[in-house]
């Protein structure tokens, strides 16, 4: 069997620049891949790398696609190196003959709160909409200022709601311990990436903190690809795995290994377009383990709405995922 390979590169401005631990991000670059089989069926996939996270770059992906050429076999696609995890994810999506079977009709979504004091006033309007999980970016300002805001933020939560804290690796062990000490006995669902994945002894520090405090820890930047997931599974990590399917290569086998280990998983966006969102959300909906609120409350994200995934709301339904139209994204990039 031969497949015809096409791709279109994109550079899409965000509606508003995205603040990250690595500075301000104004434009999303990536690729949409299209594979046509000999029966004329087209499949689409998205390469949405985050190079400062540790993924390949768009240029590396384009070089690999250039080497593959216009006509490819499934064997050639399977031989794309594992280090091109975002490309392997796109090719797996574009090749998929059948979609994963959903195990839920709808899934809750976490509301994203801005860093600093602005979070406090954003909770009530989101609670009014129906959100019950809130994610607050921390590690952005002074640690004492942020710690002193924690009870104000928690005070605004509706009853039964949970707060996630995402430090994006901003703290050292001592600072992380201060936060974990404060979070104990408060409705903090988990603390995400308290110390940087590339800091010295990070894995031991994360395991040590997880053992010393009751609030669960979540790994995000520590999981750049399937090999990282496998390493933490092998180490019997009992905290949370933040899974950005877009970075995982062919996600099906990795997700199967997570399921077999009864891992605790949060599915999360890599700020992809509707093409990658559709594939990533299908994986989240097929998950049969404990459901946690999705980290997909990111859209509308792009200046042009055709590229967006399902708009942020307290729940995403399977219909919202099925309605996403990869072909419309492809056409819009013409
Ligand atoms: Mg994170």
Task: Provide the 8-state DSSP code for 80.
Answer: S
Model confidence pLDDT, tens digit, residues 136-180 = 999 999 999 999 999 999 999 999 999 999 999 999 999 999 999
Tens of pLDDT, residue by residue over 225-276, are 999 999 999 999 999 999 999 999 999 999 999 999 999 999 999 999 999 9
**Is the whole-model pTM more than 0.75?**
yes
Spatial distance between the Cα atoms of 135 and 207, rounded to a whole number of angstroms: 23
- Positive or negative, the CA dihedral 334, 268, 110, 118 is negative
Rounded to whole angstroms, the Cα distance separating 310 from 125 reads 19
**Catalytic residues, which ones?**
137, 244
Report how far residue 267's alpha carbon sits from residue 280's, in angstroms, rounded to the nearest whole number: 8
- Strand ordering across the sheet containing 162-166: 111-113, 133-137, 162-166, 188-192, 217-219, 240-243, 264-267
Cα(21) to centroid of ligand 1, in Å? 10
Residue 18 CB coordination number (10 Å): 15
97 CA to middle of ligand 1, Å? 31
- The yes-or-no verdict on residue 22 having pLDDT over 80 is no
Contacts of 1 (CB under 8 A, 6+ apart): 37, 38, 73, 74
Distance separating alpha carbons of residues 145 and 316, to the nearest angstrom: 34
- State the distance from the centre of ligand 1 to the C-alpha of 94, rounded, in angstroms: 27
Domains in the chain (CATH in brackets) are 3-95 (3.30.390.10), 106-326 (3.20.20.120)
């Amino acid at each position: 069997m031969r497949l015809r390979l096409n791709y279109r590169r994109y550079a899409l401005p965000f509606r508003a620049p995205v603040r990250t631990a690595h500075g301000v991000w104004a434009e999303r670059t990536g690729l949409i891949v299209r594979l046509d089989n000999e029966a004329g069926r087209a499949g689409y996939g998205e390469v949405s790398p985050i190079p400062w996270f540790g993924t390949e770059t768009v240029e590396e992906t384009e070089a690999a696609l250039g080497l593959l050429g216009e006509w490819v076999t499934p064997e050639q696609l399977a031989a794309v190196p594992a280090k091109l995890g975002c490309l392997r994810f796109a090719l797996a999506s574009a090749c998929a003959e059948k979609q994963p079977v959903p195990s839920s009709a709808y899934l809750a979504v976490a509301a994203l709160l801005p860093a600093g004091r602005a979070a406090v006033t954003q909770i009530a309007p989101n609670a009014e909409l129906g959100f019950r999980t809130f994610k607050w970016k921390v590690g952005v300002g002074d640690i004492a200022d942020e710690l002193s805001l924690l009870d104000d933020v928690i005070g605004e939560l509706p009853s039964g709601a949970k707060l996630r804290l995402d430090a994006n690796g901003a703290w050292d062990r001592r600072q992380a311990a201060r936060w974990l000490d404060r979070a104990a006995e408060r409705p903090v669902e988990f603390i995400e990436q308290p110390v940087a994945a590339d800091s010295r002894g990070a894995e031991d520090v994360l395991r040590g903190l997880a053992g010393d405090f009751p609030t669960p820890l979540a790994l995000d930047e520590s999981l750049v690809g399937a090999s990282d997931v496998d390493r933490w599974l092998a180490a019997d990590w009992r905290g949370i795995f933040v899974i950005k399917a877009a970075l995982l290569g062919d996600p099906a086998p990795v997700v199967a290994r997570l399921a077999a280990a009864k891992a605790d998983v949060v599915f999360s966006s890599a700020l992809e377009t509707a093409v990658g969102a559709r594939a990533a959300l299908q994986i989240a909906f097929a998950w049969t383990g404990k459901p946690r609120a999705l980290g997909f409350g990111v859209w509308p994200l792009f200046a042009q709405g055709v590229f967006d995934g399902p708009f942020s709301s307290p729940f995403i339904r399977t219909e919202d995922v099925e309605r996403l139209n990869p072909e419309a994204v492809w056409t819009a990039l013409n």
